[in-house]
Structure 1
Amino acid sequence: MKKIFTLFFALTTLYFVSFGQVDVDNGGFENWTSFSGYEDPTGWDSPNFEAAYASSFVVSKSTDAYEGTFSVKLESKTVIMFVVPGVIVNGDFSYNISAGTADVSGGDPYTQRPEKLTGWYKYTPASGDSCTIVAGLMKRIDGITRDTVGSAVFSAKTAVSTWTYFEVPFDYNSLDNPDSILIAATSTDYTNAMAGSTLYLDKLQLAGGTVGVQDVFEMLDASVYPNPAANDLYIDLKSGQDARVKIINVIGKEVIKKEIEIGIRTKIDISKLPQGVYFIEVESSTEKFTQKIIKN
């Protein structure tokens, strides 16, 4: 039973390692970029460019912040004769004011699988209106088309006059890791935009979940090579802490154990191991991850 449990643990930790809370890039809206007559949060896009000809901007910097100096204010407005929604996207946003249609693309590189999207908001809706905050975890499947790995959607209809915490879980459609994340927020129901709805946002974060092993290696500045290997396996641990290495076979038996030091390439002789699949487990006092290796 112990061997079965150990094997199950190795398999379930093969590709994923837990992580804590991560800030969305400029999710605190402290950094802003100036354009002709208006500002957008750095790394975010909005309909401000399209509305600029009427000098009516739907996204603006606010000093009413939950944390730090600034938050972002989204306010749907009537521009000439059309309602323009207050929208921000951490990608590229193109809005056709007269048709009321938009094209959204891009996003930030991202390879983790978080449990939830969190943040702080205040909201004043026009009668019957609602705001929405959505995060999509995307993966490019053919160089052009992107598939949705998972998504999280938060929506509110009632007025909230003080900073209020929200969290919403990610719903996953795939076991894949994404390659990017696309986040959008709107102050009004996009299908029936109403002028006057105002949404304040601050401190957007991604919490809990897992990260792919390759990403953990990159974050720790570590590498294991070659893989597959026939005689010698090398481990470079360039940052973090000294660690212990175990090699475990497919029935959960530890076959090799060794200490490794930061900054020193460690060689592990695997020449006497039978050919097959093994798991290399690297553990320090604060971190632990497992990777599959092939012995030729």
Structure 2
Amino acid sequence: MKIHLNLKNLAFSCSLLSVLTTGCKRENISVDNPPAANSKAHTEATSLPNPGFESWNGNQPLSWNLSASGSARATGGHSGQYAAQIWNWYYYVKGFLTNGNVFNAMPGYDYNNTGGIAVSERPAALTGYYKYEPGSNDGKKDSAIAIIALRKYNAATRKSEKVAYTEVSLGPSSQYKLFRIPVSYASSVVPDSLVVTFISSRNGFCSGASNGNCLYLTLDDLALECSSGKKEIAVK
């Protein structure tokens, strides 16, 4: 049975509360170190922090990183008041949203060696809702990019190594649309950390936009699906 509570109007102090253990587990991390074997991750259900983008510090959603330009807090979320929005700006520069750390470059697996959340199980999929509106790009076909990457710390090399990487395209949609990204595992290794990244386009160019902006991706209500088929309890 799938269970998913959507309680976006709760105070942010409850945002990390887990109310049911579903098999995917997590704890927050900020450095490239493996979680301790007896850590909180082994008793707490996995929940992407601030998955509905209701809590912000200025122009940044808490627990996420938005590009300095080509991004904003959007009103009219799929549920609740807010959503996160990214777009191409200066005609060709891509906006991004990630829960990994960003090192002065477009995020992707290689740039997300720290940050994200810690896990001690193998999530089956990432789900959420999105809108993708091309705007003034001369009607050329394009898509946004969604990435989920999982890593495992190797004590011998002192580096995090890739366990899974899935990248999909999100096509145009003027209304909120459900997406599901199955995780593609390269081995049977159990990962210890997870990074989610969204990028505003693949090769978009805003040639018809007077302000240089186009290809708007709006995101809301993200969740992890566990290997059992259950969804996390995302208390927002």
**TM-score, length of structure 1 as denominator length:** 0.53
- 2: CA distance between counterparts of 1:185 and 1:64? 19
1:172 equivalent in structure 2? 185
* Structure 2 residue runs without a partner (length 5+): 1-20, 25-44, 207-213, 229-236
- Residue by residue, what CA displacement relative to the aligned partner does 1:91-136 show, whole Å, maximum 9, x if unpaired? 2113359xxxx94432222222111110000001342221011111
Structure 1 match to 2:122: 113
Q: Distance in 2 between matches of 1:92 and 1:176?
A: 23
Indicate yes or no: 2:91 matched with 1:67: no
Deviation, 1:203, is 0.8
Aligned-pair distance for 1:163? Answer: 0.7
Partner of 2:154: 141
Aligned pair partner of 2:23 in 19, 22, 33: 19
1:153 aligns with 2:167: yes
Greater RCO (CA < 8 Å, at least 6 residues apart):
2
Would you say the 8 A contact 2:87–2:94 is kept in 1?
Answer: yes
- Which ranges in structure 1 are unaligned for 5 or more consecutive residues? 1-16, 49-56, 211-296
Q: Deviations over 1:182-239 (max 9, x none)?
A: 11001111xx3534110000011111216xxxxxxxxxxxxxxxxxxxxxxxxxxxxx
Structure 2 CA distance for aligned equivalents of residues 153 and 83 of structure 1 = 21
Look up the match of 1:194.
205
Contact 1:29 1:202 in 2 (8 A): yes
The answer on whether the counterparts of 1:76 and 1:193 sit within 8 Å (CA) in structure 2 is yes
Identity of aligned residues (%): 26
Measured against aligned partners, the alpha-carbon deviations of 1:139-187 in whole angstroms (never above 9, x if no partner) come to 1113632212123333123x20111101121111122211110110011
Q: Measure how far apart 1:84 and its partner are.
A: 2.1
Number of residues paired by the alignment?
172
Separation in structure 2 between the aligned mates of residue 200 and residue 180 of structure 1, nearest angstrom: 25
Higher strand share: 1
Secondary structure of the residue that 2:104 maps to in structure 1? Answer: strand
The correspondence of residues 1-296 of structure 1 with structure 2, limited to 5 A, is 19=23, 22-34=46-58, 39-48=59-68, 57-78=69-90, 83-95=92-104, 103-106=111-114, 107-125=116-134, 126=137, 127-142=140-155, 144-157=158-171, 159-189=172-202, 192-195=203-206, 196-209=214-227
CA deviation string 1:38-67 (max 9, x = no partner): x1111111320xxxxxxxx31110112001
8 Å contact kept, 1:22–1:207: no
Higher helix share: 1
Contact 2:204 2:215 in 1 (8 A): no
Distance (whole Å) between structure 1 residues aligned to residue 111 and residue 126 of structure 2: 23
Instruction: Give the partner amino acid of 1:146.
Output: S
Closer, same or farther in 2 for the Cα pair 1:18/1:47, shift >3 Å? closer
Greater Cα radius of gyration, structure 1 or 2: 1
Q: TM-score, normalised by structure 2?
A: 0.66
Distance, in Å, in 2 between the alignment partners of 1:181 and 1:201 is 18
Q: Structure 1 pair 176/165, CA: closer, same or farther in 2 (3 Å)?
A: same
